[in-house]
């Protein structure tokens, strides 16, 4: 499906990565974690709301808000923070306060942890790239629009954070990939030009389209989320992270 394109040898100064399903796997189908999150938020609200809460009405309400947020993210490439979405939900049911909101965020983060695992070769690759003196960056859309503190926890848990010179999260900049500004912010923070940088991600739409749109080299890492996107071709395609290092001087 994805073919490798002819490339010109040139030295890359910087390598930037996507996080979810590129360095850390979370889930194969987002609908499962989202449904579990909604169910557990209902339990939280039913225990803290001053009035009885109908399960079906609540589930329909929160699910609809999540769907609308997802559509907006896709169409406008803007981030919809979960703090905003969940805060509105808790306020509707009379139980919004700082403690309950944090509990709600932890619930949605918790459903991601149930299937979280490190992608094989991630630490080894980052260590080798760092040893070679390459600048290393991250551009990540955060699942559910969670605050960036949550993916940072994952990176620290697996020992990934120490290798990055800069990290850009969607909830910090208010935009999601493939918006060009997200990539330009990352390049500016790292002090490198697009032509000297390579980006690795698992989505043709979010990662490859975004990176190539600003002039970066783009490498697609195969995953269950590799959905065809008309007119978008990666510079190279890999199945495993260990293949990346050999591409640094080739793309």
Same domain, 130 and 193: yes
Please name which of 17, 7, 9 lies closest in space to residue 220, comparing C-alpha atoms. Answer: 17
Whether 56 and 155 map to the same domain: the answer is no
Contacts of 196 (CB under 8 A, 6+ apart): 12, 13, 14
Question: What is the structure's pLDDT at 187?
Answer: 99
Query: Is there a single domain that holds both residue 46 and residue 101?
Result: yes
- Residues 237, 136, single domain; the answer is yes
Give the per-residue SS3 of the chain: CCCCCCCCCCCCCEEEECCECCCEECCCCCHHHHHHHHHHHHHHHHHHCCCCCCHHHHHHHHHHHHHHHHHHHHHHCECCCHHHHHHHHHHHCCCCCHHHHHHHHHHHHHHHHCCCEECCCHHHHHHHHHHCCCEEEEEECCHHHCCCHHHHHHHHHCCCHHHCCEEEEHHHHCECCCCHHHHHHHHHHHCCCHHHEEEEECCHHHHHHHHHHCCCEEEEECCCCCCCCCCCCCCEEECCHHHCHHHCCCC
Give yes or no: residues 63 and 168 share one domain. Answer: no
Q: Does residue 208 form part of some domain?
A: yes
Could you say which of 113, 142, 176 is where a domain stops? Answer: 113
How far apart are alpha carbons 248 and 246 in whole angstroms?
6
pLDDT for 225: 66
Range of the domain at 151: 14-26+116-247
pLDDT score at 236 = 94
The answer as to whether 185 is a domain residue is yes
> Same domain for 240 and 177?
yes
Quote the pLDDT of residue 168: 99
Together in a domain, 135 and 85: no
Same domain for 227 and 135, yes or no, is: yes
* Inside any domain, residue 2: no
Instruction: Please check whether residue 205 lies inside any domain of the structure.
Output: yes
CA distance 248 to 27: 29
Alpha-carbon distances of 244 from 8, 16, 92, 212, rounded to whole Å: 16, 12, 48, 17
| Residue that is last in its domain, among 82, 113, 144 | 113
Q: Look at residue 178 and tell me if it is in a domain.
A: yes
The verdict on residue 93 lying in a domain is yes
Query: Residue 156 is part of a domain; what is its CATH number?
Result: 3.40.50.1000
Q: Which two tokens stand for residue 213?
A: 């749109």
| pLDDT tens for each residue of 170-180 | 999 999 999 99
Q: What is the mean pLDDT of each run of 10 residues along the chain (251 residues)?
A: 42 93 86 93 97 97 96 95 97 97 97 92 97 97 96 98 98 98 99 97 95 97 73 92 83 51
Any domain includes 4: no
Of 45, 78, 113, the residue that ends a domain is: 113
- Same domain for 161 and 209? yes
Separation of alpha carbons 249 and 163, rounded Å: 20
User: 180 and 58: one domain?
Assistant: no
In terms of phi and psi (left: phi > 0; alpha: psi -120 to 50; beta: otherwise), the region of 231 is left
Residue 202 lies in a domain: yes
pLDDT for position 30: 77
Number of domains in the chain: 2
The verdict on 128 and 209 lying in the same domain is yes
């Amino acid at each position: 499906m994805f073919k490798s394109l002819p490339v010109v040898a040139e030295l890359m100064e910087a390598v930037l990565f996507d996080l979810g399903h590129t360095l850390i796997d979370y889930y194969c189908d987002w609908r499962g974690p989202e449904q579990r999150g909604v169910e557990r938020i209902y339990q939280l609200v039913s225990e803290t709301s001053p009035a009885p809460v109908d399960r079906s009405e609540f589930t329909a309400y929160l699910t609809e808000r999540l769907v609308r947020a997802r559509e907006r993210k896709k169409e406008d490439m803007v981030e919809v923070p979960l703090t905003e979405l969940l805060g509105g939900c808790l306020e509707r049911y009379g139980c919004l306060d700082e403690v309950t909101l944090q509990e709600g965020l932890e619930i949605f983060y918790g459903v991601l942890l149930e299937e979280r695992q490190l992608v094989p070769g991630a630490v080894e690759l980052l260590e080798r790239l760092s040893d070679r003196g390459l600048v290393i960056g991250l551009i990540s859309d955060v699942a559910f629009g969670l605050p960036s503190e949550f993916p940072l926890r994952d990176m620290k848990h697996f020992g990934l954070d120490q290798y990055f010179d800069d990290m850009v999260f969607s909830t910090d900049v208010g935009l999601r990939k493939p918006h060009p500004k997200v990539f330009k912010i990352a390049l500016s923070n790292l002090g490198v030009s697009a032509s000297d940088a390579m980006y690795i991600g698992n989505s043709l739409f979010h990662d490859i389209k975004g990176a190539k749109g600003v002039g970066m080299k783009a490498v697609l890492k195969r995953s269950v989320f590799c959905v065809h996107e008309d007119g978008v071709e990666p510079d190279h395609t890999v199945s495993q992270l260990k293949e990346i290092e050999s591409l640094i001087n080739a793309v």
